Structure 1
Amino acid sequence: MAQQAYMTETDNGGSGPEHRGTRLRRLLDRLAGSWRGDPRIWRRGLVVAACAVLLALVMVLHSRIPNTIGNLGSLTETFLPWLGLLVPVLLVLALVRRSATALIAVVLPSVVWLNLFGGQLSDKTATGGDLTVVTHNVNADNPDPAGTARDVADSGADVLALEELTPAAVPTYEKALAPTYRYHSVQGTVGVWSKYPLSGVRDVDLDMGWTRAMRATVTAPSGQVAVYVAHLPSVRVKMEAGFTARQRDRSADYLGEAIAHEPLRNVVLLGDLNGTMNDRALNAVTSQMRSTQGAAGNGFGFSWPASFPMARIDQIMVRGLKPESSWTLPQTGSDHLPVAARVRVTTSDS
């Protein structure tokens, strides 16, 4: 009896799967019917269509947007993935306007965005690797440096890089990290902690007047790795000046030159670069290294701001090493998220 009652309810307009499918088909049929025979569907929505084409052109030609006016090109490239949010907005507007022209035009930015960032939507992580590295801008105003140190140490990192260290907070980090990391070095406002011996430690000149980058050799069981830790100058968005990043851009060139002259085969760069891999201003670095997130991550791996990450400005980049996995760690007392990666040390025969 219960089964018969259910079948009767479904047949008489209930909520069964078949009925829901029928209602959807009827809705689509009514929508199509309202469009058929209306010649205006090709003339309406031309503004929406033009916006869709413009959006596609911005994404395709982002490298051609000049930096001469407020570094507009770099600003666009910093938040380039977020332009994809405009696609569903344009789609809704095209449907509201009942414009076939606009609907066809919206396909263009959709395809462009998927071509640029579709690969980020897949999980590229793999098992394996023999060295775990973590970088974290700990924030000079961090209210709990000891807690932040414990959080990043619990990540299991073999090599840990910290940026934005203050003289007052350094002893706290050293004390909290000492049980996990036998070797460490602090140069200016950056430091590296390692479970394996360090050698060849020196600061790296970023043409800033004080030390915000360093280099060290980590002798891991799988081989030697040159580790660079860097904190490039901050950028600001100002109404009168636009995206102010001249000092960062110059420091990126200095950092890129230092890495280009690195004699070791296996190199890892850890740090807050205040820029994304899409930003052409970091080309001196990004042209010779690859991002672990892009090669072995799952998603975009945004790291800043920690409360609502919108951009990946904290980077782990490698040369020679093979990325196996990349991820972000939970929020600490900083305004940045820590980022981590597992890499495989390669040899000339690999």
Structure 2
Amino acid sequence: MASAAGVVRLSRRRARRAARRRVVPLWRRGWVAGGCALATAGALAGHRWVPDLGLRLGSLWESVLPWSGLVAVAALVWAAVRRAPAAGCAAAVLVAVWAGLFGPVLSAGGGAGGSGGSSGSGGSGGTGALVVVTHNVSADNRDPAGTARALLAARPDLVALEEVTDAALGAYEGVLDRELAHHVRIGTVALWSRHPITESRRLTIDPGWSRSLRAEVRAPGGPVAVYVAHLASVRLTASGFAAGHRDRNIGALAAALDEERLGRVLLLGDLNTAASDRALAPLTDRLTPAASGFGFSWPAAFPLARIDHILSRGLPALGAWTLPATGSDHLPVAARLRAG
């Protein structure tokens, strides 16, 4: 049993701590939350200068930039609970930076579920327009025919598929061929088209794989060079994020685009990184991503990033959106492009 003197000393210590808490100035409350918010705002505004540090941390950060808004939400909640105006001001700075970076993206509309899609477009994209879809259908897809039917709901002119297996090819052909009479499959990638495919070939961006092709489509307004690609994945290793294989694919694909003779070009596929990632700059410097809203496409159950892309040259995007989930772990991505 504690002595009376001990109880008194404990009570005094508690009183001193309470007094110190009472006299903490408002501007010092929530400094940890405020510091995190300001640091995030700086990293967001200057994301191109965040170093990789040999671990590709800068590249990873650029792949998840939109999610930095969660730091602002946490800081605002903390500021309200702790009545910390400084933390609230820091969170407001982060909100302003985030809105400046992503406001134009969100104001473009679109996003998911086909909401930005082909309303008003005919059996194709309508006069002088193309509706295009790209989808990593997954080699483990248990319902390829159902997946194909879901893609046709967008009333596309072009459908690019990645991870097409020999076993599933017949199911895709059985559905897609009914509306898209022309198709080519090379390795694990394939392209279906409403318009004639006048030529096609394997695109060698990786000597060890057959996961890319180039086709020429006789589309409204003239021929279009269509590239379908499935780039190497990024792996987490003990030394960081292993992206060298993917980055070599990107460089080889950029070199192929430099040799492209046609003025109108489409690149469709699973590029295994976000358009904001500096690693994709060799492609985004040459082609323009078709995007409305964030358009997160992976993983399908809870999309966190847009790694499936439609990029173009000479075919301005009129809208872009994601389609509902299929039997794949990716969401299909669609866009309507001005072709005339």
Normalising by structure 1, we get a TM-score of 0.83
Q: Distance in 1 between matches of 2:104 and 2:294?
A: 10
Q: Deviation of residue 330 (structure 1)? A: 1.0
1:269 is matched with which residue: 262, 267, 270?
A: 267
Structure 2: gaps (5+ residues): 1-22, 110-115, 121-125
Question: In structure 2, what residue type is equivalent to 1:62?
Answer: H
Contact 1:163 1:189 in 2 (8 A): yes
Query: Whole-Å Cα distance in 2 between the matches of residues 103 and 121 of structure 1?
Result: 24
User: After TM superposition, which residue ranges in structure 1, 4 or more long, deviate above 4 angstroms?
Assistant: 124-129
Cα deviation code 1:271-312 (max 9, x no counterpart): 00001111111111011111111xxx2x21111111111111
Higher alpha-carbon deviation: 171-180 or 194-203 = 171-180
Provide Cα deviations, 1:127-158, integer angstroms capped at 9, x if missing partner: 77511110010000101111111221232111
Measured against aligned partners, the alpha-carbon deviations of 1:5-38 in whole angstroms (never above 9, x if no partner) come to xxxxxxxxxxxxxxxxxxxxxxxxxxxxxxxxx8
Q: 1:59 aligns with which of 34, 44, 62?
A: 44
Q: Which residue of 1 aligns with 2:6?
A: none
Equivalent residue for 2:35, pick from 50, 64, 68:
50
Mapped to 1, the partners of 2:207 and 2:240 lie a distance apart of 22
CA distance in 1, matches of 2:164, 2:62: 28
Q: Is the 8 A contact 1:130 1:222 kept in 2?
A: no
Asked if 1:73 corresponds to 2:73, the answer is no
Cα deviation digits, residues 26-72 of structure 1 (max 9, x gap)? xxxxxxxxxxxx88112322222211211111112222222243211
- 1:22: which partner in 2? none
Aligned to 1:28: none
Letter in 1 for 2:172: Y
2:153 and 2:38 map into 1 onto residues whose CA distance is 48
Q: Is the 8 A contact 2:220 2:339 kept in 1?
A: no
Structure 2 match to 1:89:
74
Cα displacement string for residues 56-92 of structure 1 (whole angstroms, at most 9, x for unaligned residues) = 1111222222224321111111111001111011012
In structure 2, the residue matched to 1:40 is 25
Tell me, in whole angstroms, the C-alpha distance in 2 between the residues paired with 1:131 and 1:278: 25
Matched, 1:304 2:291: no
Q: Which residue of 1 aligns with 2:229?
A: 230
Alignment RMSD (CA, Å) = 1.9
Equivalent residue number for residue 157 of structure 1: 156
Q: Is the 8 A contact 1:165 1:189 kept in 2?
A: yes
Are positions 1:328 and 2:327 aligned together?
A: no
- State yes or no: 1:176 paired with 2:161: no
Q: Distance in 2 between matches of 1:39 and 1:182?
A: 73
Q: Write the letter of the residue equivalent to 1:277.
A: A
* Secondary structure at the counterpart of residue 131 of structure 2: strand
CA contact (8 A) 1:253 1:282 kept: no
CA distance in 1, matches of 2:56, 2:160: 29
Distance in 1 (CA, whole Å) between partners of 2:87 and 2:307 is 35
Instruction: Give the deviation of 1:208 after TM superposition.
Output: 4.4
CA distance in 2, matches of 1:100, 1:344: 49
CA distance in 2, matches of 1:166, 1:324: 32
> What residue identity is the alignment partner of 1:301?
G
1:344 is matched with: 338
Contact 1:303 1:339 in 2 (8 A): yes
